[in-house]
A and B are shown apart, each in its own frame.
Chain A
Amino acid sequence: MTAVKVTARYLSVFAVLAVVLLPAYWVVVNSVKTLPELVSPTPTFWPHTFTWSNYVNLFNQIPFVTYFRNSIYVAFAVTAITLALSGLAAYSLYRCRYRGRDLLFKVFMSSYIFPRVLLLIPLYVVFTRLRIIDTLTALVIVYVTTIAPFSIWMLHAFFTEVPLELEDAAMVDGASRFQVLLRIFLPLSATGLAALGLYAFLMSWTEYFFALTFIISDPHKTLPLGMAQFLQEYSIDWGLLMSSSVIIAIPPIILFAIAGRWFIKGLTAGAIK
């Protein structure tokens, strides 16, 4: 291969990575600058000053811990419920035979055509009537609804991969279908469940649209709601927003580092076949 070709190859890779990574770098760098440097009209591409105060202020100036706790609670609850509901439903759709199965599959998949805004208004009315408006429960319910259909699609690649012979063998040995599901099938598709867990967490961790409408009081606000107030103030405290952005982005990054490759597999397998 010629030197020109190699250079072109690396230049193209650098260009793509720059588009993706530079804005992230810019937030991290600015989160540790002192205020005068942060708001100076001449930006410094490498910080001349260094301070943790933007991070410290998150904890002693605003109820960041409350927002964080609420977001974590919602994300974990949604992940657990989605795993249970979609996991069982996907097993049923991909591994059991019964009348109406194809129709059910189509119904689940087409629920993505329902615009979220269409559900927003009536759900708001219902949740008000049930007196769960302005609670995290309302968020958990609606997030599971929006995440479940795609989860089923994602599990396809993993659930169809488990050999049927294993299940048959266990049943011949006298295990009930339920035992087979719990002890044989689910452990064998653990990577699929991890992928699904990652997806559910990412989608619920900092969802903004439903949270904005359903949550009113400060103690129930999740991270995006809490931080959006600061973004829309007349004089914006950029230091706080930079450091909070870094912290908010860390959990998704860690989880993706762990389960990302399975997630991509689940995402693509359905489309590739």
Chain B
Amino acid sequence: MLPQFSLHRVAQTLQKDPYFGYLLVLPLVVWTLLTIVYPFLDALRLSVFNVGYVGTAGRFVGLANYSKVLTSWEFWHTTEVTVWWTVLNVGLQVVGGLVAALVLNQEFWGHEFARTWIILPWLFPSIVLATIAKWMLDPTLGVVNYLLLHAGVVKAPISFLGTPGWAFLSATIVNAWHWFPLFALMILAALQTIPKEVSDAAEVDGANYWGRLWYVELPCIAQVLYVIIFISSLWAANIFDVIWLLTRGGPGDATNTFPILIYYKGFQEFRISEAAAISIPLFVLLLLYGVWYMRRYMQQEIEEPAA
């Protein structure tokens, strides 16, 4: 006689370890395979064809796209801009976050309010961010130019988003303003795990503010800072919204980072394959950076559940 099929039996079997664990993680595994792994392989395929418009069939061209891309001035210029953009953003975000966290970590009236709502800029969607920035930096209506003119700092209004150097700096500051509160809160949470006795003991031993900061507080939060620098650099290298909304990569190509270049190649010039061939080297670059950084600075291990 055939064993009777019973849903209940199936359910019971599945609920036994280890199948239960596999069962629960399965949906996300499938999702990841379909939306990350498959597209990645498809990007590899596209990069060795010569597809222009999406949907058209390309011809196999081998590594032609790569050699074209890697020998172009554009690619290396974009690399330079992206590196500068990332370094400057990480610097401003981490230093800004650290300063804000140290300030908010003091005892003062209203500290709960301040420690919560410092997050405000991070809650602003990129479109709101871009609106505020464009409005404040406008050459004729902007409040920044108004204040600079009236304080006598400048003689004529500055076209913040219209001149290459200023545009790069403005976009960087706007983006850093968006992100630093998040890191400030993370650093603040880390600072608050430092036992008060440690800091007090250092004070008794005669350490001044900077001494305590350098020898006590910073070493205590070093691990968090490493994580933050890592996240912030990966995120900064991937920023598209703020740059596109403010400058579209311009003026000229002053703010042309990789996400902008790839979008532009693929969806404005309709060279999908070339765009794919640019994104693969970028991926390799980020991967190498990620592996190196995690080996060097982070020891993130999943710990065993007790059972």
Chain B CB within 10 A, most for which of A43, A121, A212: A121
> Does B159 make an interface contact (CB < 8 A)?
no
> Does B54 make an interface contact (CB < 8 A)?
yes
> Does B48 make an interface contact (CB < 8 A)?
no
> Does A145 make an interface contact (CB < 8 A)?
yes
> Does A191 make an interface contact (CB < 8 A)?
no
Is A101 a contact partner of B302 (Cβ separation < 8 A)? yes
CA separation between A159 and B279, bound complex, in Å? 36
Q: Distance in Å from the Cβ of A56 to the closest Cβ of chain B?
A: 19
User: Interface readout for A201-227 with B: 1 if CB under 8 Å, 0 if not?
Assistant: 010011011001100000000011001
Q: Distance in Å from the Cβ of B184 to the closest Cβ of chain A?
A: 8
B residues 114-143 near A (Cβ < 8 Å) are 114, 116-121, 123-128, 130-132, 134-136, 140-141, 143
> Which of B39, B40, B120, B286 makes the CB contact (< 8 A) with A21?
B120
| A118-B22 CB under 8 A given contacts A20-B118, A95-B305, A125-B54 | no
CA separation between A85 and B33, bound complex, in Å? 14
Is A117 a contact partner of B185 (Cβ separation < 8 A)? no
Q: Distance in Å from the Cβ of A93 to the closest Cβ of chain B?
A: 7
Q: Flag the segment in A46-54, A58-66, A263-271 that touches B.
A: A263-271
Q: Distance in Å from the Cβ of A255 to the closest Cβ of chain B?
A: 9
> Which of B15, B35, B125, B181 makes the CB contact (< 8 A) with A145?
B35
CA separation between A167 and B22, bound complex, in Å? 19
A residues 167-200 near B (Cβ < 8 Å) are 167-168, 176-178, 181
- Number of cross-chain contacts by CB at 8 Å: 306
CA separation between A114 and B31, bound complex, in Å? 15
> Which of B28, B46, B258, B286 makes the CB contact (< 8 A) with A108?
B28
CA separation between A113 and B36, bound complex, in Å? 11
Question: Could you tell me the dominant secondary structure of chain B's interface residues?
Answer: helix
> Which of B39, B132, B135 makes the CB contact (< 8 A) with A122?
B39
Inside 8 A of A260's CB, which chain B residues have their CB? 116, 119
B residues 7-21 near A (Cβ < 8 Å) are 11-12, 15, 17-18, 20-21
Is B31 a contact partner of A144 (Cβ separation < 8 A)? yes
Q: List 22 A-B contacts (CB under 8 A).
A: A16-B99, A16-B103, A27-B131, A85-B31, A94-B302, A102-B302, A111-B36, A115-B258, A119-B43, A122-B46, A125-B55, A126-B38, A126-B39, A177-B20, A206-B127, A209-B241, A213-B267, A241-B135, A244-B131, A264-B189, A271-B190, A272-B189
Question: Which residues of B come within 8 Å of A, CB atoms?
Answer: 11-12, 15, 17-18, 20-25, 27-29, 31-32, 35-36, 38-40, 42-43, 46, 54-55, 99-100, 103-104, 106, 108, 110, 114, 116-121, 123-128, 130-132, 134-136, 140-141, 143, 146, 177, 181-182, 185-186, 189-190, 193, 223-224, 227-228, 234, 237-238, 240-241, 244-245, 258-259, 262-263, 266-267, 272, 275-276, 279-280, 282-283, 286-287, 290, 300, 302-307
